[in-house]
Structure 1
Amino acid sequence: MRSLSLFFIITSCCFSFSQNKQLLFGFSDIPQSLMVNPGGEVKNDWYFGIPLLSHIHTNVGISGSTVYDIFADDGVDFNTKLRNAIRGMSHRDFFSANQQLEIFSGGFAFGDRFQKNEYVSFGLYQELDFIAYFPKDFAMLALNGNGIGVPFRANQLSVRAEAISVLHLGYNKKVNDKFSFGVRGKIYSSIANIDFTNNKGSFVTVRGQNNFYDHIFNLDLEGRTSGLASLGDDDSEGSNSVVKDLRKRVLLGGNLGLGFDIGVSHQLNEQLHVEASLLDVGFISHKKDVENYKIEGDYVFEGVNPLFPETDIGQTAEQYWDEIEQDLEDLFTVDTTTSKYTTWRPVKFNASLNYSFGQKEYESCNCSKEDNAYLNKAGLQLYAISRPKQPQMALTAYYYRRLFEGLQVKTTYTIDSYSAYNIGLGMYTNLGGLNFYVMADNFLQLQNIYDAQSVSLQIGFNYIFNKKDED
């Protein structure tokens, strides 16, 4: 039973999804690149995304021990591998998930007839974000039991999850040939939220006076939720009612919030280019369907009476265990409230510097083409995201190549929380206005996906009307 408990803890805290879109950032041929930098370069007059197919993004990764570390057929006992995996992880290892589905999107350029230097983009997407840190102390508690004087810290119990929809409107302005900026306003609609990140206190076992041991709890635990209580209510319409409620929340019927993105793009000289963005600076106010839970105070539990049961007074075993259960319930009083609360979105930062080289030349005159003169780009990108315990960061080196007019590729090498050797590849193709892109990470570890530190996939379909190059 203990092995099963440990297995659940280790597996539920290993898999992680990342919000880093290093393959998409700066890939200006793809309209969705404006979602990671609203001030980036725009290469189309207008576009519309194929509904529900224009952008599908999901990542999976592992912080700490992998599934392969536990299940590898290497002759080592399962319990030994499980113990080694837990001991090798820290309380800063995490399980996180991020998934996005674009419901609809579009954009168009405007301005004077000869120079359309302004661009508006818009859309609606659904996002799931989840993070849970590995509770090292409590995993060791399950592994070894509660040793005398060993504290188990409650702040390691840290979980945050939310499902939202985002309605957005972006504006991009090309000021001149060297500089452009952009801003995007967002309306968030929370579908469901769980926030269990403000926990404090500890639990420790000492030698007792009235019993062998005293278990001392100093706790300040708080869990906040919205959008969940009503889903569990009995309803005559059953699942149909739940689906209607969720659909309503996606269409701005949930707890609402506001946010914005900003971004810039600057051509330092003919070949050096920098861009940066700050995303999801915003909040959500949770007022509807709120249910919060709090345990606060100092508690002492003197443990189980070793005289089991008190048969001399006619006490049965069932009555004995009922008494213990009641003692625990009386000890830990859960205060339930419906007070409103506010959550902040995880802010993301991107910045890159790239160098363009390899000019395209006409065969007839050995002269370079004015527009899109360089076929290659190489550079570095820095990414960071705010998280409950500490920011997570990633550094990416990348190479972009325009193979020909309808096919571009980008390859990346990323160092992040999961791995120091993540190689990714993205491809964009445009056939008669129909655009398709596919991007994936960590090709080196796909040969054994159970031992992979991270795997990522992005795909999408758009219809694009591109700007015509002037000869």
Structure 2
Amino acid sequence: MRYKRLAFVLIIITFGFVGAQNKQLLFGFNDIPQSALINPSTTLKNDLFVGLPLLSHVHATVGSSGASAYDLFADDGRDFSSKLQSLIFRLDSNDFFMFNQQFDIFSGGFSYGKGIEKDRYLSFGMYLETDAIVYHPKDYAVLAYQGNADNIDRIFDLSDLNASGEVVSVLHIGTTKKINNKLTIGARGKIYSSVFNVNSTKNSGSFVTREGQNNFLEHTFNLDLSVRTSGIKSLAEDNNTDFSKDIKTIRKRMLFGGNLGLGIDVGFTYQATDQLMFEGSLQDFGFIRHKKDIESYTLKGNYTFEGINPLFPEVGNGQTAEEYWDEIADNFEDLFEVDSAANKYTTWRPLKLNGALRYAFGKKQNKDCDCLNDDVGYINEVGAQLYAVNRPKRPQFALTAYYYRRVFNGFRVKATYTVDSFSYKNIGLGVSTHFGPVNLYVLADNLLEYQNLAKAQSASLQLGLNFVFGRNK
């Protein structure tokens, strides 16, 4: 039982000290084949594409809604302890830290249909995604930093513990269908294979210390805490020193050897006029059923203890985090019994919503005849996009305005301005180039902070390499 208690405490510690992704630059950028992953109704401008394995789409986003590394590590004359204290009290329990990473393992697609005009497009592939979000456990942090000796009669809210993380591989296939000259629809089916999952999102309870009789302190716990895991127990307990065997296990889970689930994306594109377009999509309406290699930890009940010493002492001078939490774990070892079980559970994928309005303008002019060349369409586009993602506590939103331009054949750019949970001044830039059949793209957010990334509350980068054939210029 000691191992299970320690595992429970370690998971909480990890969540507390670890550090969705909105892909507004990629959304609607239909020169890039991977834009169909965000909206399956996107009409790709090619007949066939093959993504370079492992490099066709690489994406990483990291963010903090209320703090940056600069807040803790700035060389401003203040000591680290005072900066940490300021940060703990400034953030609230709805502030969060997040990380999302995704890269394609393989991808491809082709157009098809009856007759000369191919009105359908089939795309497919497989990608690996890591997604984690940790809400600031404010009352836990205050308790750890100050202890409870100076917080008599303060009720600490234990529901502040809220975090989830997963690594999942996704095999997908989608189709785009042009219904008529105005409406195009699309859908994408997905099979999820979970590699790891850890979540602790339904906690409640409180802790309070009051003065008792004869100078004793009365500590009262009302607890309903739980952590659910899958894919972790076997690797943690196998006593295996050969890391290559663990890699083989993880590889099997990626190829449908893990906990499985199903999902779907749907989308539409409506061409209201020659210049005005509406589009929207829902991503990852799906679930994963966890039945293999599962273990859950629960701590539930009402407890009252009396003593002359506080249960949560203030952090001592020179005391490391490991030493402090070892002391807390030793105290709790004698007070609580953590229950463990292998109960099956279901997790829902973070549902994402995208909606956009686009307006195209600026026909390209033919220099030879001083007339408009209707074949190439419009070279400029402005628009607005709304993004939302469902998260454990509440949905997160982002609003983007953008400008897109075909600079010349084979070179397209997109600039964005985004307001989201991280910043009100997020400027992004994306570039897509074509050299023969080779499509190379780079998309980056929050460019104003690149002069000092330590001050950035978020950063995002996407890049990829595809081979594209039959491209519509």
> What is the DSSP-based 3-state SS (H/G/I as helix, E as strand, rest coil) of the residue aligned with 1:44?
coil
Any gaps of 5 or more consecutive residues in structure 2? 1-12, 311-327
The answer to whether the Cα contact below 8 Å between 2:428 and 2:444 also exists between their aligned partners in 1 is yes
Gaps of 5+ in 1: 1-7, 307-323
Cα-to-partner distance string for 1:78-99 (whole Å, 9 max, x where unaligned): 3222222222111111111110
Instruction: Report Cα offsets for 1:333-366 as digits up to 9, x if no partner.
Output: 1111001000000000000101111111212223
Q: Which of these residues, 209, 213, 216, is aligned with residue 213 of structure 2?
A: 209
- The answer as to 2:116 corresponding to 1:119 is no
After superposition, give the CA deviation of every residue in 1:150-173 in whole Å (9 maximum; x if it has no partner). 111111111101100000010100
Residue in 2 aligned with 1:27?
29
Give how far 1:237 is off: 6.7
TM-score, normalised by the number of residues in structure 2: 0.90
The percentage of aligned residue pairs carrying the same residue is: 54
1:440 aligns with 2:407: no
TM-score (norm 1): 0.90
Q: Which has the larger radius of gyration?
A: 1
The Cα offsets for residues 177-215 of structure 1, whole Å up to 9 and x where unpaired, read as 221110000000000100111101011111123652111
Larger deviation, residues 421-430 vs 71-80:
71-80
**Which residue is 1:143 aligned to?**
145
**How does 1:314-463 map onto structure 2 within 5 Å?**
328-463=332-467
Structure 1 residues 305 and 105, CA gap change in structure 2 (3 angstroms): closer
The alpha carbon displacement at 1:326 in A equals 7.8
Aligned counterparts of 1:112 and 1:418: Cα–Cα separation in 2? 47
Alpha-carbon distance in 2 for matches of 1:466, 1:20: 30
Q: 1:11 to 1:413 in 2, by over 3 A?
A: farther
2:414 maps to a residue whose letter is: K
Shift of 1:304: 4.9
Structure 1 CA distance for aligned equivalents of residues 329 and 371 of structure 2: 85
State the Cα distance separating 1:9 from its structure 2 match.
Answer: 9.3
Distance 2:94 2:301 in 1: 26
8 Å contact kept, 1:235–1:241: no
Amino acid at match of 1:395: L
Matched residue, 2:251: 247
Q: Which residue pairs with 1:66 in the alignment?
A: 68
Count of residues paired in the alignment: 444
Q: Which amino acid in the other structure matches residue 447 of structure 1?
A: Q
The superposition leaves residues 395-417 of structure 1 with CA deviations (integer Å, 9 ceiling, x where unpaired) of: 00000000011000000000000
Conservation of the 8 A alpha-carbon contact between 1:280 and 1:346: yes
**Which residue does 1:175 correspond to in 2?**
179
Residue 226 in structure 1 maps to residue 230 in structure 2: yes
Q: Is the 8 A contact 1:409 1:427 kept in 2?
A: yes
In the TM superposition, what whole-angstrom CA distance separates every residue of 1:423-458 from its partner, at most 9, and x where no partner exists?
000000011111000000111111111011211110
- Where in structure 1 do 4 or more consecutive aligned residues deviate above 6 Å? 8-11, 324-327
Contact 1:9 1:139 in 2 (8 A): no
Give distance in 1, aligned partners of 2:331 and 2:26: 56
**Residues 305 and 119 (structure 1 numbering): CA distance in 2 closer, same or farther, change over 3 Å?**
closer
Q: Which amino acid aligns with 1:70?
A: L
Shift of 1:233: 2.2
Say what the alpha-carbon RMSD is for the aligned residues.
2.1
Q: How much does 1:331 deviate? A: 2.9
2:40 matched residue in structure 1: 38
- State how far apart, in whole Å, the 2-side matches of 1:392 and 1:367 are: 47
The residue identity in structure 2 corresponding to 1:402 is R
What is the rounded CA distance, in whole Å, between the counterparts of 2:466 and 2:193 in structure 1? Answer: 25
Counterpart-to-counterpart distance in 2, 1:129 and 1:325: 29
